[in-house]
Structure 1
Amino acid sequence: MTEQRPIIPSGGRHIAIVGAGLSGSALAWHLARLSGDKTLRISLIDPRPEPGRGLAYSTPDPDHRLNVPHTRMTLDTSEPDHYAHWLQSGAAPAFAADALRPDGAIFTPRAVFGAYVLAHLQPFLDAGRIVHLQSRAVSATRAAGLWQIGLEDGRVIRADELVLAATHPGPGLPRGLEALAGTPALIADPYLPAALDGIDPEEELLIIGSGLTGADIVASLMRHNHKGRIRLLSRSGRRSQPHGPVQDESSADFTLDPPGTALALLRRIRAELAIAAEAGLTWHPVFDRLRSQGPQIWAALPLPERRRLLRHLRGLWDIHRFRIAPQTHASLLAAEQSNQLIALAGRVTGLERDGARLRISLRLRRGGALRFTADRVILATGPAHGAVTATNPLYADLAHQGLIATDPLGLGLSATTEGEAIDGKGQPQSDLLIAGPLARAAVGELMGVPEVTAWAERLAAKLAQAPVSA
């Protein structure tokens, strides 16, 4: 007979949050602050040694910076300067002086923001209001109106509500690189601890992905005095844009008669960019307004137009929306000017072993082909959110039961605009919620800290008002 695994009793209402990065931790923090029920138990289930950091804010590399100034980072949308005040309080760990820019903006290492999140969780952890269960959730079933959540270490957790907040799966392997899977010649996840430590300074590298992850990798390599040639490849060749000067806000209002098609939205954006230029503004304030009004813009678009928008305009949106920290941008420019860094637009069409090296063939975007040798390939394509039900064991289990489904746009999981997971039959579930970027198909923009924080506040308010299970 198989021994029954122990079940941790809830001892009152219990909310289990799977994932203790920013999405899960912000939700737990707001819920603990909002709830008047002192018997409420909140569990953060995550295998990392500390909650609050997650993938993005665990990196110890000082060149992995926040990509926005400190004044735009906060756990509390009612206090925009929440992070800035914490930095000034003396509680923050030390960081290099080059984080401070001449205009007063501070682009701190991401680990500092992780320390900030943990510092605000800590009082609730110490009081037992929030409990960190250091394990991985691998299964979940409903039984008698409660969730039974199986952990990798054999424990089973009973909860009234389950929140899915493990948001960043690893990158998918691009076509043509299958032969490198599992070999030292491929660094599949550059954010893993010591992922870049085994690279010899003389190695020639191919980085696939020219967004912020690729930029982080280049900055880290340059700080460690890498000497070898670095090629930065993406299909479009586009790169994350730098921040603009301090300037007035745009007066654009995309919520007035919001466009109902991707083409109409593009025309509206172009018109607002022209108005901004006439007023002496750069494109930055217009895109800031697009971001802040994103949910209303998204809501006005029917599904086919959302799909068209993603297919044709997502690349342009990403490079203007996800801006690069000035220090990182300067590192890339210096590497390019010395001809050590070469940016390429195209795709891999062939890969062969050439002794200990790799012979790589590319089809270039503007026509023609290129062949070169490299010692290693580094993936910087970002999380494969659309494949999350295949790569996360808990999500795979829930999908197999028909309790969750990939959203129609492949951005994450199907959810309502209130964060309720939509099951395989199209029904929302009030006791199964989705926190963070995996719910972005419901609202359009849910990747940055301001949006993740606002979403956490919304879910916390919903959960705090929910009735206790019978």
Structure 2
Amino acid sequence: MLRITLPSQKQVSPVSAISRVAIIGGGFTGATLARLLALHGRYRPHEIVVFEARDHLGGGLAYDTDDPSLRLNVAAHRMRAVPGDPQAFVRWLSDSGRLEQDPGAVVSGAIYARRGDFAAFMAAQVQPFLDDGIVRHVREHVERIHRHRGRWQIEGDAGAMVQADVVVLATGHPAPTPPDVLAGLSGDPRFVRNLSRPDALHAIRPDDKVFVVGAGLTALDAVAALRNRGHCGDLTLFSRTGHLPQPQAAGDFAPHGDFLIGVPNTALSLLKQVRFAMQEVTQAGLPWQSVFDALRHQGQTIWRNLPLVEQRRVLRHLRRRFEAHRFRMPPQIAELVACERAAGRLRACAGQIIAVQPGRDQIAIDIATKPRGVIERHIVQRIMVATGPNHGNVIDSQGCLAELEHLGLLTKDPRGLGIACDADSRAVARDGYPVEDLFIAGPLARGTFGELTGVPEIAAQAERIVQQIVAMSFATTRTITIRPM
């Protein structure tokens, strides 16, 4: 006969002795996760593994650039990248000498740093943990993620194979998807479909007329990068609405508006509250930007209180207007845009592309313009896509994610904003239940959290994910012993 006893309070070796965390993506999100995990001091060498094909961690698609014209669209003192140390980036800019080397960074007393400087700052934050071996950087793209004998197995495109107990997907922003009407340009060297490629602008001649599909911050990055390279040809920024990002306000001001009192539960009620708050600040002589800063700080709570049907309504009717006010251009870019428009070299137009006719030396684009639907023809030498990332297509765009979806371990966000996850950032499987050891970090989780694009919000989410992983790894357990009678 066997007797089962349950010794109470018996300690066993922590799971951390054999656990490994694999982070897929080493941009800001992935580097922050790795650093926060390493700070717990309980991981052995190479137990935190980051798959990132770039040479350095921390930059990613957003910040990995050496173009000095590309700047952060938020003042440095608002880049709260290090939890518990909100001024870490500002201090590093001064201590490293980077600020002194960038005389154009300070505008109206605020620092709008180069993006490459922020990438260097983040690389410096994680470097000590790479040096001591706690964090391992695998410079490969991930091709497969699958279950193998109860653990995760991650396989890179150059032969790396890592087994892990927890996986965090932090791959960030997927590439844009060109409008269907541009499909006939596929393979044409005059068509630039992905501005994130290092050589995307190399073939553009100084006097080429360029038609940019998109009018957000990505499009303005293209304008700045082209002008920095000596391009002087005409530029047209095209979108359905024609709205360009708004400028940042000068000075330091507090957020205005409390949207958590009587939290709006419809798109219409949210719009009414925002309009009322805008009227209040305007009458008080405050910048309207203060209202959108309040929306940002309260955004996750507001989003969670909207039913799914209302979230979709917000995305359908208010998204572009919100993004033009939320994702504002830094003053250096605002000055460039104003000068280019005044000189007639930069134009924004709204409408719908109805036809594209590639010729030998040029491309003709026909647009039904808003609001009257007049057909307008543009003759250009280059077309580039700057519509921003297609989060709704992220799973299909990466083979390793598509395989996880095929296995039933990932599902698309029902709002079209990335990957479905629960309030604890755990991936939601096909059966509707969370996958306990698979987390979604950063912008891929926007559908659940709403406001999850800015550095402070991503850093806060990363901190919560790390707390959950640590709690999973270092939990003590009760044991069962079986003794013969």
- Whether these two folds match at TM > 0.5 is yes
Partners of 1:307 and 1:233 in 2: how far apart? 24
Q: Which residue of 2 aligns with 1:43?
A: 49
5 Å-filtered alignment, 1:356-371, equals 356-366=361-371, 367-371=373-377
For residue 251 of structure 1, report the CA deviation from its aligned partner: 4.3
For residue 247 of structure 1, report the CA deviation from its aligned partner: 5.0
2:302 alignment partner AA: I
The Cα offsets for residues 222-272 of structure 1, whole Å up to 9 and x where unpaired, read as 233322211110110001000113254244211122011111111111111
- What SS does the corresponding residue of 1:140 show, helix, strand or coil? strand
- What SS does the corresponding residue of 2:460 show, helix, strand or coil? helix
- What SS does the corresponding residue of 2:104 show, helix, strand or coil? helix
Work out whether 1:451 is the aligned partner of 2:457.
Answer: yes
5 Å-filtered alignment, 1:199-214, equals 199-214=204-219
1:380 alignment partner AA: A
The Cα offsets for residues 263-293 of structure 1, whole Å up to 9 and x where unpaired, read as 1111111111122122221211111001000
Q: Which residue of 1 aligns with 2:391?
A: 385
The one of 376, 379, 385 aligned to 2:382: 376
Partners of 2:103 and 2:50 in 1: how far apart? 34
Contact kept? 2:46, 2:133, Cα under 8 Å: no
- What SS does the corresponding residue of 1:124 show, helix, strand or coil? helix
5 Å-filtered alignment, 1:293-442, equals 293-366=298-371, 367-442=373-448
Structure 1 length normalisation: TM-score? 0.94
Partners of 1:206 and 1:246 in 2: how far apart? 35
1:148 alignment partner AA: Q
The one of 74, 91, 94 aligned to 1:88: 94
Work out whether 1:15 is the aligned partner of 2:21.
Answer: yes
Contact kept? 1:35, 1:464, Cα under 8 Å: no
For residue 143 of structure 1, report the CA deviation from its aligned partner: 2.5
Change (3 A) 1:86 1:287: same
Partners of 1:160 and 1:191 in 2: how far apart? 32
2:446 alignment partner AA: R
Q: Which residue of 1 aligns with 2:186?
A: 181
1:111 alignment partner AA: G
- What SS does the corresponding residue of 1:98 show, helix, strand or coil? coil
Partners of 1:277 and 1:342 in 2: how far apart? 29
For residue 390 of structure 1, report the CA deviation from its aligned partner: 0.9
1:49 alignment partner AA: D
Change (3 A) 1:462 1:294: same
Work out whether 1:233 is the aligned partner of 2:238.
Answer: yes
Change (3 A) 1:95 1:391: farther
The one of 196, 201, 204 aligned to 1:196: 201
- What SS does the corresponding residue of 1:207 show, helix, strand or coil? strand
1:450 alignment partner AA: P
2:328 alignment partner AA: R
1:145 alignment partner AA: G
Q: Which residue of 1 aligns with 2:480?
A: none
Contact kept? 1:358, 1:376, Cα under 8 Å: yes
Higher mean C-alpha displacement, 321-330 vs 244-253 = 244-253
- 5+ residue gaps, structure 2, are 1-15, 478-485
5 Å-filtered alignment, 1:109-124, equals 109-124=114-129
- What SS does the corresponding residue of 1:218 show, helix, strand or coil? helix
Contact kept? 2:105, 2:112, Cα under 8 Å: yes
Partners of 1:33 and 1:236 in 2: how far apart? 46
For residue 196 of structure 1, report the CA deviation from its aligned partner: 0.9
Q: Which residue of 1 aligns with 2:63?
A: 57
Q: Which residue of 1 aligns with 2:131?
A: 126
For residue 300 of structure 1, report the CA deviation from its aligned partner: 0.9
The Cα offsets for residues 203-240 of structure 1, whole Å up to 9 and x where unpaired, read as 11101111001111111222333222111101100010
Partners of 1:247 and 1:100 in 2: how far apart? 14
Q: Which residue of 2 aligns with 1:145?
A: 150
Indicate the percent of aligned positions where both proteins have the same amino acid. Answer: 37
Contact kept? 2:22, 2:50, Cα under 8 Å: yes
Partners of 2:474 and 2:403 in 1: how far apart? 26
The alignment's C-alpha RMSD in Å is: 1.7
Partners of 2:40 and 2:312 in 1: how far apart? 37
Larger Rg computed on CA atoms: 2
Higher mean C-alpha displacement, 44-53 vs 107-116 = 44-53
Partners of 2:195 and 2:185 in 1: how far apart? 15
For residue 161 of structure 1, report the CA deviation from its aligned partner: 0.2
Partners of 1:283 and 1:391 in 2: how far apart? 38
Partners of 2:334 and 2:239 in 1: how far apart? 17
Contact kept? 1:59, 1:191, Cα under 8 Å: no
Higher mean C-alpha displacement, 377-386 vs 345-354 = 345-354
Work out whether 1:285 is the aligned partner of 2:290.
Answer: yes
**Number of aligned residues:** 460
Q: Which residue of 1 aligns with 2:247?
A: 242
For residue 95 of structure 1, report the CA deviation from its aligned partner: 4.0
Work out whether 1:135 is the aligned partner of 2:140.
Answer: yes
For residue 113 of structure 1, report the CA deviation from its aligned partner: 0.2
Partners of 1:104 and 1:147 in 2: how far apart? 49
1:58 alignment partner AA: D
Contact kept? 2:80, 2:89, Cα under 8 Å: yes
- What SS does the corresponding residue of 1:336 show, helix, strand or coil? helix
For residue 96 of structure 1, report the CA deviation from its aligned partner: 2.7
Structure 2 length normalisation: TM-score? 0.92
Partners of 1:155 and 1:250 in 2: how far apart? 47
Change (3 A) 1:93 1:124: farther
Higher mean C-alpha displacement, 227-236 vs 72-81 = 72-81
